Amino acid sequence: MVAEGVETPEQLDLLRSMGCDQYQGYYFSPPLNAAAFSELVRGRQEAALLSEADAVRTHSKLAAYKAG
């Protein structure tokens, strides 16, 4: 299940407590066009290591990807 429209930390906490592990919404990022999304993913791949907080603070699980 993917929760859409997450806008506040309180909403995220509630969803997590209910077992939801996929989220998207303005809390993480406004909608992005293809070019901006590509830059986001490329930037995440170039990071040496990403923390769990980085993965949580994005609208996509792609942020958890670690290149290499």
**How high is the pLDDT of residue 45?**
59
Give me the amino acid identity at 44. R
8-18 average pLDDT score: 92
Q: Decide which of 13 and 41 is more confident.
A: 13
**How high is the pLDDT of residue 56?**
58
pLDDT per position as a tens digit, 18-66? 999 888 888 888 888 888 888 877 776 555 445 556 555 554 554 444 4
DSSP string, 7-26: -SHHHHHHHHHTT---B-ST
